[in-house]
Amino acid sequence: MEAMIQSWKDYLFKEETWVQLGLIVIKVIIILIVTALTIRIGKHIIQKVFLVRQRSPLGYSERRQNTLLKLLQNVLTYVVYFSAIIAILTTFGIRVAGLLAGAGIVGLAVGFGAQSLVKDVITGFFIIFEDQFAVGDQVQIGTANGIVQEIGLRTTKVKSYTGELHIIPNGSILVVINYSIYNSLALIDISVAPENDIPSMEKNMKEFLEELPNKYEDLVKTPSYLGVQSFDASEIVVRFTAETIPTKQNIVARKIRRDLIEFLEQKGIKIS
């Protein structure tokens, strides 16, 4: 026991030991600095490449560009970090080849338990390959409704309008409602008093609708007046439809209701 303690003391108080330890620390610091710079420069280069692609006359989809940009930046980060870990282990004198071989055996042993991870990665690949949805799209996945923030190989992140961030494993995504691909349709109901002159009111409303495309850039075409939706002794409900660019139907509907109320008041048409 005393011989072992003495040997450790001799080792610790050797000048060569501290020189070697200092060199290891310096190497690790250099590796970490190079790793951080590589990730930062690599992400910048990827972003510049995609900016050049967006300016090209080939008409690349901005949705798909943003998705691939995020994905490639994530892949770059994973690869650089993995390389840095191997470099640090090598600096400490650990045989990486033997470690990787052992990891391969362990990976084979737990392969059946990692089926969900493989499913997540494969599903993520097909989401991107088939362009099912992209970064910036408004989607509903299960109970998560919001804007896609990031699509990774394993998870998808959706931020709701109230601020919650939903992190969804790709393998659990079964049905997706994408609101950002096709034009949206706003349904607008207005209640008016039954004593109004209906033909005159309808004429005024159609004139009002004709002016809206000049006011709202989100409108695709002139809104349509559908007519009387329902009525009773106290009110008549008339309905309009307005086709808008994707996800803008609620904003446009609010603006039309606001302006229509002012217009009807100016024309002397009573609102119930």
- Report the CATH number at residue 14: 1.10.287.1260
Q: What is the pLDDT of residues 13-32, one digit of tens each?
A: 666 766 777 788 888 899 89
- Does the pLDDT of residue 216 top 80, yes or no? yes
Instruction: Please state the domain count of the chain.
Output: 3
Residues 209 and 244 in one domain: yes
- Does the pLDDT of residue 4 top 80, yes or no? no
Query: Could you give the percent of the chain with pLDDT greater than 70?
Result: 82
Hey, which bits of the chain come out as E strands? Answer: 138-141, 144-151, 155-160, 165-169, 176-178, 184-192, 224-231, 236-244
- State the DSSP code for 128: H
Q: How many CB atoms lie within 10 A of CB 11?
A: 10
- Does the pLDDT of residue 59 top 60, yes or no? no
**149 assigned to some structural domain:** yes
Q: What is the pLDDT of residue 102?
A: 53
| Angstrom distance (rounded) from CA 34 to CA 84 | 9
Q: Which of 160, 178, 196 is the last residue of a domain?
A: 178
| Angstrom distance (rounded) from CA 10 to CA 121 | 52
Q: Which of 148, 178, 208 is the last residue of a domain?
A: 178
CATH number at residue 242: 3.30.70.100
Are the C-beta atoms of 234 and 270 separated by less than 8 Å?
Answer: no
Q: What is the pLDDT of residue 49?
A: 80
Q: What is the pLDDT of residue 109?
A: 44
| Angstrom distance (rounded) from CA 127 to CA 64 | 11
Q: What is the pLDDT of residue 58?
A: 46
- Does the pLDDT of residue 162 top 50, yes or no? yes
Residues 157 and 137 in one domain: yes
Domain that holds residue 248: 184-266
* Structure confidence at residue 158 as a pLDDT band (50, 70, 90): very high
Residues 16 and 101 in one domain: yes
Are the C-beta atoms of 166 and 158 separated by less than 8 Å?
Answer: yes
**271 assigned to some structural domain:** no
Are the C-beta atoms of 128 and 74 separated by less than 8 Å?
Answer: no
Q: Which of 123, 155, 178 is the last residue of a domain?
A: 178
**2 assigned to some structural domain:** no
Residues 38 and 122 in one domain: no
Least confidently predicted of 61-65, 100-104, 185-189, 259-263: 100-104
**95 assigned to some structural domain:** yes
**239 assigned to some structural domain:** yes
Residues 170 and 228 in one domain: no
Residues 16 and 104 in one domain: yes
What distance separates the 2 farthest-apart alpha carbons in the chain? 110
Are the C-beta atoms of 267 and 195 separated by less than 8 Å?
Answer: no
**272 assigned to some structural domain:** no
